[in-house]
Amino acid sequence: MIYRDRREAGRELAPFLRRYADDPSVIVLALPRGGVPVAYEVARALHAPLDVFVVRKLGLPGQPELAMGAIASGGVRVLNDDVIAVSGVSDEAIDEVSHRERIVLRECERRYRGDRPPLDVHGRTVLLVDDGLATGSSMRAAVSALQQEQPARIVVAVPVAAASTCRELAQEVDEVVCAQAPEPFQAVGFWYEDFSPTTDEEVRDLLEAAAHERLAAPQAH
């Protein structure tokens, strides 16, 4: 199936997660920016709160494309000890890169979330949502960081993914839900008619809408 856009992909993904509907322990975290429209529809269908989980790669000094770790929402830092050992990078250099990326991360969160505090994931069932998985490197970084926050359960949920990536991730989390895992996979964007970049404004608007809908929910029943 080719999805019209990310919102439709979220509506198609939601039925695969219906067992989590109306469960007060469940929260939906989106990987921005592309995961937010998908997660918005999932959270809406399940009547669950929605937030973003921002992850920033820590690039090796001089080789920024090579990740020596990641930082994420909540001030979590995860380091790749193997890369650090081989490269011989100093603690000071790691701290310097971490500080720089933490500033960027905080700016992203402020842009997306405004003044709203982040959701507390400790002891909760977290549905971690993106618009798709190719290699899964961003999702793996998010999972590693999220585990530091001690949720009760982590469920990775995506509309489309490479089957091999789903199998690998299933070793790292409690559950992986892929609405479809076509072969050959090619690329995430291949499975969307409209795969144009999600803007900061869209992210902010969807998070605000989700928060307002949650506030209005008690009156609706």
Residue range 55-106, pLDDT digits in tens:
998 999 988 888 899 999 888 899 989 999 999 999 999 999 999 999 999 9
Q: Which two tokens stand for residue 74?
A: 């909540």
* pTM for this prediction: 0.92
Q: Which residues make beta-bridge pairs with 158?
A: 178
Question: What pairing do the DSSP bridges indicate for beta strands 55-60 and 63-72?
Answer: antiparallel
**pLDDT-derived band at 108, boundaries 50, 70, 90:** very high
Yes or no: say if 89 and 59 are a contact pair by the CB < 8 Å rule. no
CA nearest 71: which of 37, 106, 38, 47?
Answer: 106
pLDDT at res. 221? 36
Vertex 14, ends 8 and 19: CA angle to 5°?
A: 175
Backbone phi, psi, residue 78, to 5°: -120, 130
Q: Which CATH superfamily is domain 56-113 in?
A: PRTase-like (3.30.1310.20)
Please, which residues bridge with residue 76 across strands?
Answer: 72
CATH of the domain spanning 6-52+122-220: 3.40.50.2020
Confidence label for 45 from pLDDT (cuts 50, 70 and 90): very high
Confidence of residue 24 (pLDDT cuts 50, 70, 90): very high
Domain ranges in the chain with CATH number 3.40.50.2020: 6-52+122-220
Measuring CA to CA, which residue among 33, 9, 48 is closest to residue 155? 48
Cite the residue boundaries of each domain of the chain with CATH code 3.30.1310.20. 56-113
In tens, the pLDDT along 166-215 reads 999 999 999 999 999 999 999 999 999 999 999 999 999 999 999 998 88
- Interatomic CA distance for residues 102 and 163, integer angstroms: 33
